[in-house]
Amino acid sequence: MKTEIIDFSPTPDYTHNLNLLVNKIKNSTAKLILASEVIVTDFDYKNFDKTNEFAKKIKETILPLSKNKIICFTLIEDNKNKAFVFYQNKIVYQREKIKLFGYEKRYFKAGEIEPEIFEIEGIKFAVLICFELRFIEYWQKIKGADIILIPVMWGIERKEHLKTLSNALALSLQAFVMVSDGLAKESNIISPWGEELGKVADIDLNYVKKIRKRLTLE
């Protein structure tokens, strides 16, 4: 499966950001695309009503692009930071961020659904939204996932934390981990063996089975 990360930093112009995201998706040959946390609007707390309202436009624009692609990123809706997975012109999975960080606690409502495994075409996926990556108890809940998607807007001063945690997650769960980071730019696709593959990679899901058979953790 060809995979790609989109990780530009958003500007104050939502429409510009959305058009940029659309163009990058259209020009991608990847089957699976992960974009960064709130990539279209950023955490625009001064215009939070506008940010919430723009969610509808984002979803309406991205849905037609998902006919043959799996697309994941987060957006702000109903005062929640929501991860969406689009596929075959549908929203096939969504979950609100449950662990809020910093100023998010002042503006967002925390979600109630903890990270979990869901399937698309028999492939087991899971999503961790940014700060949730730090909570080891969530790693256990998604054990068995083949691909873990992590949209983030990670603080630059903590970029090494993101790299370390992401690599450790891939090794611990023996899964492919995709991290799209719109701020610190520590984006990467990481193999179950801890290999850093860059922002575009052809991944072989049989490799997950191979590594788990080679290094049994139970």
| Residue that is written with structure tokens 């112009």 in the block | 13
pTM of the predicted model as reported, rounded to 2 decimal places: 0.96
Q: In this prediction, what percent of the chain has a pLDDT beyond 90?
A: 96
Interstrand relation of 2-6 and 200-202 (parallel, antiparallel or unpaired): antiparallel
Stretches where the chain sits below pLDDT 50 are: none
| Span 65-113, pLDDT tens digits | 999 999 999 999 999 999 999 999 999 999 999 999 988 999 999 999 9
Which domains are delineated in the chain?
A: 2-214 (3.60.110.10)
Rounded CA separation 82/73 (Å): 8
Determine the pLDDT at residue 218. 58
Cβ atoms 202, 182 nearer than 8 A:
no
